[in-house]
Amino acid sequence: MKQQIMTMLDLQDAMNSKVNENWAQQGFAWYRAIWIECAELLDHHGWKWWKKQTPDADQVKLELVDIWHFGLSILLLEADNREGLIRDIEQQIVKANPSGNFPEDLEAFTLATLKTKGFDVPGFATLMAGIDLSFDELYTRYVGKNVLNFFRQDHGYQDGSYRKQWGGKEDNEHLVEVVAELDHSSVRFKDDLYQALEQRYSLG
């Protein structure tokens, strides 16, 4: 877990720096991005009592991965040193305490976010447990999304020259296929993933 946390923190710092090299000094409202994502997440889970709704677990997990991006940014800003931060995340991510009522757990997490403007790691872990999102799956989904975002930026996403479809498929579909082929436990996972996307993209 330590290596996975380290990789994700490095990736988040790098992505934030790619968007704004002085991101840590900008005072961005990361907590606001989190509670907005929480509202979107609840829509995917379902909350309307006047019609039949079935939770879309895959979309809920995707929203949790987005929240994790913003949460890591908050933690990076608050930390005195990287080693201590990794240790804190390791200790807190196992403190899941789901109530059995996912919407209420989500509201408790959202309330903590609004109160503290921080990132409630045990509360996040509770949401993971409530939707059966393991830490390994969080890691795999996070790295995949982050690497794809980097790949897009490196290949002209901002100036419009990036091709979102190649080889008859969208880049998200290529990502799913490549992730399934690679060893997620390898320390080279993110690099191997980027290179595999690069190879497929070059073939058109």
State the pLDDT at residue 74. Answer: 97
Q: Are residues 120 and 74 in the same domain?
A: yes
State the pLDDT at residue 187. Answer: 83
Q: Are residues 152 and 126 in the same domain?
A: no
Could you tell me the CATH number of the domain that includes residue 22? 1.10.4010.10
Tens digit of pLDDT per residue, the chain (204 long)? 899 999 999 999 998 998 888 998 998 999 999 999 999 999 989 989 998 888 888 889 989 999 999 999 999 999 989 999 999 999 999 999 999 999 999 999 999 999 999 999 999 999 999 999 999 999 999 999 899 888 988 998 878 899 888 888 888 888 888 988 998 888 889 899 999 999 999 887
Q: Which two tokens stand for residue 143?
A: 């790295």
Which of 119, 122, 133 lies closest to 59, judged by CA? Answer: 133
State the pLDDT at residue 166. Answer: 86
State the pLDDT at residue 175. Answer: 87
Judge whether 70 and 131 are in contact, CB under 8 Å.
Answer: no
Residue 167's domain comprises: 144-202
Cα–Cα distance for residue pair 16/50, rounded to 1 Å: 41
Domain-terminating residue out of 131, 154, 188: 131
Kindly state whether residue 12 falls inside one of the protein's structural domains. Answer: yes
Q: Are residues 60 and 125 in the same domain?
A: yes
State the pLDDT at residue 55. Answer: 85
Cα–Cα distance for residue pair 106/127, rounded to 1 Å: 7
State the pLDDT at residue 39. Answer: 94
Q: Which two tokens stand for residue 63?
A: 């929203």
